[in-house]
Structure 1
Amino acid sequence: MLIQQTITKLQNLHLIGMAKGFDDQLSSVAAMSLSFEERFGILIDQETTYRENQRLKRLLKTAKLKFNSCVEDIDYQHNRGLDKSQMASLVTCQWIEKGVNLIMTGLTGSGKTWLACAFGNQACRQGKTVLFQRLPLLLEELQISHADGSFRKRLAQLAKCDLLILDDFGMAALTIQGRSDLLEVIDSRVGGRSTIVTSQIPVENWYGYLSGGNPTVADAILDRIISGSLRIPLQGESMRKLRK
């Protein structure tokens, strides 16, 4: 009865990892041969691991990544122009800590979104907050938010995450409002927050897509996204075709 009460108290204190570890030790012959200090140290490790796993689950759930991809599964066999030394540097996520942007361009199926989600997953594993957004849908949501008065709140949410993934840049025509909203989103993240932008449009053609009769806004967006950014121009055939 005393043992069950101890387990219940641990659970009530939200020490779930320790409660599970304590229960496991009771049925472990090997654990009985350990000293109190050793057994207690194992319980602390189990609680730490449990909390880290729970935090990772929360971060991944909030990130809403399109693919459950990870950096360990990056395909280097097919020639896509990936630089292994650059990829190794990106995996450390130091660029996120410095607030550097990452631009990935390439034809449809080249793996831009998959790779962006892999970096998002890696950032979550390092305790960073991530948010995946398809840019066309995000701009529609922001347009609606102007009507219901939630634009500033939504902008603040986008501004505070450590890594924002804007997928499918250039897939839909920009309205005047959409162009202005995109500038607000990018500007709110300058100076400390990183953004991944994926696009089928080469960077040199972005100005034509963004200008739409307003070169001032286009210049402002490009300056904030491109200045000091890292780039991965993906090459080769569609990965979907190759996998088939």
Structure 2
Amino acid sequence: MGIHCESKEEYIYEMMKNFKLVDMREQYMDIITEATNESLSYIDFLVRLIKVEEHGKLARRNSKLINSACFDITSTLEDIDYSFNPSIDADKINSLGTLQFMDKHENIILIGPPGVGKSLIATGIGRNACKAGKTVLFINAKELVDKLYESMKYGDLVELLKKLDKIELLIIDELSYIKMDKERESLFFQMIRRRYEKGSLIITTNLPLGKWDSLFSGQLAATAILDRLIHHCHILSISGDSYRVKGKNR
């Protein structure tokens, strides 16, 4: 049964509402005016109408992906002050920002002292991934390990691991300030193993790779985890002064 409308405009509005053409519904009258003023052909008018909906849907999708990613900061790669810290390789960062590493299911490990921009870089790459329509999750390392442990306790581990498997780019921030027991270490290893050559990771840490045994039960566990992480991996070591201290000094 069709929709009864009093006018053509009302019919168009209601049908676009039914078809969930949000941006067309809001802007089609303005586009009709533009088409009349510019003497657009029918096909050019239709293209302009479709582009309005396309751009709107992309914007809503990107916004949803960015909100779901749970970024701590709003920075992008364009916000990095390379002149302040010459140890950051701008060409390398911009190359990683193209997301080709994700196509190859490669990882990134950012190593350096607090405040040098590790999380900023990770967030910038993550935001690029969201804009490309990819699912991203930014999470503190301790929070992630605790969530894995809690899900195991309450019988939800398989479900959580499956959710994490679907995240195309998992960003684990501050893998530095925790000491895992055997159970948490095993859970973390499970997650890393499941992502191996299937999904990309970005990890930020203060610890050089040679000191990762301090995070786990010993060198054997650290080696097992590192073997999978660094097999296909971009490792960036950043030194220099802290951005945060720079801001305070200013």
Task: Give the TM-score taking structure 2 as reference length.
Answer: 0.91
How far off is 1:29 after superposition?
Answer: 7.3
The one-letter amino acid of 1:237's match is: D
The RMSD of aligned alpha carbons is 1.6
Structure 1 residue aligned with 2:243: 239
Structure 2 residue aligned with 1:79: 85
Quick check: 1:129 aligned with 2:150?
Answer: no
Structure 1 residue aligned with 2:215: 209
Secondary structure of the residue that 2:203 maps to in structure 1?
Answer: strand
Figure out how many residues of one structure are paired with residues of the other and give that number.
242
Q: Deviations over 1:111-152 (max 9, x none)?
A: 111211111000111111101111101111111111211011
Quick check: 1:193 aligned with 2:207?
Answer: no
Residue identity (%): 30
Q: Which runs of 5+ in 1 are unaligned?
A: none
Give the direction of change, closer, same or farther, for the CA distance of 1:5–1:32 in structure 2 (3 Å limit).
Answer: farther
In the TM superposition, 1:172-183 aligns within 5 A as: 172-183=178-189
> Hey, what's the Cα distance between the residues in 2 that align with 1:95 and 1:128?
13
Match of 1:64 among 60, 63, 70: 70
The one-letter amino acid of 1:148's match is: Y
How far off is 1:209 after superposition?
Answer: 2.9
Task: Give the TM-score taking structure 1 as reference length.
Answer: 0.93
Secondary structure of the residue that 1:23 maps to in structure 2?
Answer: helix
The one-letter amino acid of 2:198's match is: G
In the TM superposition, 1:43-54 aligns within 5 A as: 43-54=49-60
The one-letter amino acid of 2:172's match is: L
In the TM superposition, 1:122-161 aligns within 5 A as: 122-161=128-167
> Hey, what's the Cα distance between the residues in 1 that align with 2:105 and 2:60?
26
Contact in 1 for aligned 2:213/2:221 (Cα 8 Å): no
Q: Deviations over 1:166-200 (max 9, x none)?
A: 11102111111111111011111001211000001
How far off is 1:97 after superposition?
Answer: 1.1
Give the direction of change, closer, same or farther, for the CA distance of 1:223–1:31 in structure 2 (3 Å limit).
Answer: farther
Structure 2 residue aligned with 1:222: 226
